A = this chain, B = another copy of it.
């Protein structure tokens, strides 16, 4: 197969980190990425070159292009942390060469060659060759959200308490977690901001769904926490709402922050609870987990994620598939719609 010399891609306009952090909502793509034509990259020894079919847009992508993520931007490189496509070239390692011709889900990791492009670079060891029954949409969203869901649910499982609390309860990530939790007899307490999300999440297995905007939220929250005694709080929001929930939780509560949808200041209303109630505040980052979890737990999660998508227990709700050349103009509007994922098709 002859590869073209150049490709279309969405390139990062900013470099490094944002000087002034902004909100986590993407107001527009234009300040952060631009469509351009650049040279097709070359895979190094353990890498593959993927012809991208679909690339997903996760909250972490939005944070990254705005310069608010855990790794610095590199101006002029394509954005995009994951996607699905066909391996069309490989570096010299056997593992990489064995993937040529296969359809894979892939993360771009720290390669600086993102998935919002016609071609992307991925580490061969991180690619997941896909079963036939898995759709491109599921494949393109198989890594970031699913592995985060399984890894964080693993924390809940290890802690032992059946109930746990989730903010941003209607996110794709939380919906995946709620499904796994229900199957294993756990009791997710999902916090949302809209009443219409309540029946949806109850339907897929949430034990309780509370609307944080409702006037009786503090009383309902207190009652549910008393009844269910959750210890783990998986929080995508931070800010005053998360602080309120953590403060209302009981002894040995662990506030695990994995996102910051609310840019407002995050207080610790009662530091004494850290001392006398043995509460803790920590964080979760998939990139860190991938490094620290060890190959066995990582592989187990990868296999489980694909199995769940291929047997239909998990599926990806699609809001829109946007052609790459329309992405700068349309993506922000599509992301503003609730309940599904937005993809870029190069």
Contacts and interface: CB of A to CB of B under 8 A. Distances in A.
A283 B276 contact: yes
Contacts of A268: 238, 265-268, 281
A278 B274 contact: no
A250 to B, nearest CB: 14
B278 A283 contact: yes
Contacts of A266: 267-268, 271
A282 B288 contact: no
Contacts of A269: 265
A167 to B, nearest CB: 12
Contacts of A43: none
Interface string A248-279: 00000000011110000111110111111111
A284 interface: yes
B275 A283 contact: yes
B278 A281 contact: no
Q: Could you say how many copies of this chain the assembly holds?
A: 2
A42 B238 CA distance: 51
Contacts of A274: 257, 281-283
B70 A276 contact: yes
A311 to B, nearest CB: 32
A271 B236 CA distance: 11
A278 B271 contact: no
Given A278-B283, A280-B282, A283-B278, A271 B69 contact: no
A276 B69 contact: yes
A68 interface: yes
A68 B275 contact: no
Contact of A275 (B259, B265, B275): B259
Nearest to A69: B276
A217 interface: no
Nearest to A285: B275
Contacts of A69: 276
Contacts of A276: 69-71, 283, 285, 288
Contacts of A284: 275
Interface in A206-259: 238, 257-259
A4 to B, nearest CB: 36
Contacts of A70: 272, 275-277
Nearest to A273: B283
Interface string A289-322: 0000000000000000000000000000000000
Nearest to A263: B271
20 contacts: A70-B272, A70-B277, A238-B268, A238-B271, A257-B271, A260-B272, A260-B275, A265-B267, A265-B269, A267-B267, A271-B283, A273-B283, A274-B283, A275-B284, A276-B285, A276-B288, A277-B283, A279-B283, A280-B282, A280-B283
| A-B CB proximity, top 3 nearest | A70-B276, A274-B283, A275-B283
